[in-house]
């Protein structure tokens, strides 16, 4: 079976998803470091949960 190929999240170059793809999901150390730098500069962020949203507790806690 051929390896799965995914695009590098930084530059879009195809990356074979194999054990010897050292920088996966990135195509190179450079793309990995550029992405890391963007996180440090807060160009990327994980959104905070909506404070007004009720947490999902499952069907056993559903309000009728």
Which is the CATH superfamily of the domain at 5-40? Answer: Erythroid Transcription Factor GATA-1, subunit A (3.30.50.10)
Give this prediction's pTM: 0.66
Q: Which of helix, strand or coil describes residue 7?
A: strand
Q: Which two tokens stand for residue 54?
A: 């009720």
Question: Going residue by residue through the chain (64 aa), what tens digit of pLDDT does each one get?
Answer: 888 999 999 999 999 999 999 999 999 999 999 999 999 998 988 888 777 777 777 777 666 5
What φ, ψ does residue 59 adopt, rounded to 5°? -65, -25
């Amino acid at each position: 079976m051929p390896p799965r190929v995914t695009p590098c999240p930084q530059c879009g170059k195809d990356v074979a998803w194999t054990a010897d793809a050292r920088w996966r999901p990135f195509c190179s150390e450079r793309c990995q470091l550029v992405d890391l730098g963007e996180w440090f500069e807060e160009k990327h962020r994980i959104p905070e949960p909506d404070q007004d949203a009720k947490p999902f507790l499952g069907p056993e806690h559903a309000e009728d």
